[in-house]
Amino acid sequence: MKVLAALSGGVDSAVAASRMVEQGHDVTAVHLALARTHDGQVGSRGCCTPLDARDAKRVADVLGIPYYVWDFSERFKAEVIDDFIDEYASGHTPNPCVRCNENIKFAAVLERGLALGFDAIATGHHAQIKNESNQKQLYRSVDSAKDQSYVLSVLSAQQLSHSMFPLGDVTKTQVRAEAAAKGLLVAEKPESYDICFIPDNDTAGWLNKQIQPKVGQVIDAVTGSAIASHDGAHQFTVGQRRGLHLDRPASDGQPRYVFNVDTKTQTVFVGPETLLSVTRIFADRPKWTCGSAPEVGSEVYVQLRAHGEPLAAVVKQIDDQIEVELRLPTRSVAPGQTLALYDGNRVLGSGTITKSSR
């Protein structure tokens, strides 16, 4: 097959590309230029620095495959960075890696690849694809600590059918060993955990520069009274305890947590931990990676964060909205987060959380 291997400059994508070459595919490497800083330079760190581009190029040369840079920075800005800002400004908690996979890597890049004659895109994501009755199915990685199936749960079945994740059957430790054995000099490169377009990992500071600050009140839901003020509701996320700057302890002596953010009135609602507990989660924008929506009444697992625990749940509603009911309550569910649905280790699909309730 003609395979487009996305090379970030990191060890995972390098080994993924090398495995594609070994399997006999006709592989072309593409490095995506995504985040740009103000002076027009690409990236500050993470996955898009000039050094990463150089590492990616070196990997391609070692593998003996062509290497190109595709500049998707304009679309990345419009569909990932601006979306990230808008979501925070609306009091939501977005996951930019999910948006990047949904709108850039497995959409714009894949579409371009297909138009240019490639059959599939291969990335270094830790997830498995298995063929089941002529339909590709997405599974968790064998390395549960590194599993990235959550951020891939926004892929449609069509996108998945053109995707290859050659690292799903190995652990990160094995990936590093394989890179070293193959002479890929990125073997020891440190992990990149943070948001690639935010320098210094200072998300709050970065957001404060992007979002016009608006003063508002912090209201204690138990008493209904304002107990503090703040200078921007976007700085608060559901479940947050720190940084509330409460003037005095709550009347019941319990610590206070953010459990709702209303950016229309710039009001942050806080309450005791018990208010964070939810069992019903609602989501929109459903995507069915597995090919079709699960039936109402299905027993599933849901995951709410990239490395969150799978939670047992029952599907209560499936159409353009998803509603699930958790077997056991959970806490800190913020609108904007991705609700991923699993059947065991198999990804069914996902939606974007709109609200939750007890």
Alpha-carbon distance of 72 to 76, in angstroms, equals 6
Q: Is 61 in the site for other proteins (CB under 8 A)?
A: no
Cβ closer to other proteins: 69 or 157?
69
Shortest CB 28 distance to other proteins, Å: 7
- In the numeric block, the tokens 């490497």 are attached to 29
**Contact status: 51 vs other proteins (CB under 8 A):** no
Report the nearest approach of other proteins to the CB of residue 33 (Å): 5
Nearer to other proteins, 109 or 313 (CB): 109
47 is catalytic: no
Binding other proteins (rule: CB under 8 A), the pick from 72, 236, 282, 342 is 72
Is residue 68 at the binding interface for other proteins, with CB under 8 A as the rule? yes
Nearer to other proteins, 71 or 191 (CB): 71
Nearer to other proteins, 6 or 219 (CB): 6
Residue of 47, 48, 97, 100 marked active site: 100
Alpha-carbon distance 281 to 313, whole Å?
Answer: 10
Q: What gap in Å lies between CA 213 and CA 217, rounded to an integer?
A: 13
70 binds other proteins (CB under 8 A): yes
Q: In 3-state terms, what secondary structure has residue 108?
A: helix
Q: Is residue 196 among the annotated active site residues?
A: yes
Residue with tokens 């898009």: 48
CB atoms within 10 A of CB 292: 11
Total residues contacting other proteins (rule CB under 8 A)?
A: 17
Q: Which of 47, 48, 97, 196 is catalytic?
A: 196
- Closer to other proteins at the Cβ: 53 or 154? 53
- Distance in Å, CB of 116 to other proteins, minimum: 5
Nearer to other proteins (CB atom), residue 53 or residue 138: 53
Residues 140/119, Cβ–Cβ less than 8 Å: no
Among 3, 15, 17, 42, binds other proteins (CB under 8 A): 42
Residues 115-154 that bind other proteins (CB under 8 A): 115-117
Contacts with 163 (C-beta within 8 Å, 6 or more apart), sequence order: 106, 110, 120, 121, 122, 123, 129, 136, 155
Stretch that binds other proteins, among 112-120, 188-196, 200-208, 236-244 (CB under 8 A): 112-120
Which residues does 140 contact at the CB level (< 8 Å), separation at least 6? 127, 128, 147, 149, 342, 345, 347
**Phi and psi torsions of 55, nearest 5°:** -60, -40
Say if residues 105 and 6 touch (Cβ distance below 8 Å).
yes
Kindly write out the interface string for residues 217-256 of this chain, putting x where it contacts other proteins by CB under 8 A and - elsewhere: ----------------------------------------
Interface pick for other proteins out of 39, 74, 319, 320 (rule CB under 8 A):
74
Cβ 50 to other proteins shortest distance, Å? 9
H-type alpha helices, 70-163: 73-76, 82-89, 96-99, 110-115, 149-152, 157-161
Least distance CB 220 / other proteins (angstroms): 47
Of 80, 17, 5, 16, nearest to 46 by C-alpha is 80
**What stretch of H or E contains 20?**
helix 11-22
194's CB contacts (< 8 A; 6+ apart) are 45, 46, 201
Radius of gyration of the chain from Cα atoms?
Answer: 22
Q: Please say which residue, 105 or 136, places its beta carbon nearer to other proteins.
A: 105
Residue 8 near other proteins by CB under 8 A: no
The residues binding other proteins (CB under 8 A) are: 28, 33, 42, 53, 66, 68-75, 112, 115-117
Q: What are the residue numbers of the active site?
A: 100, 196
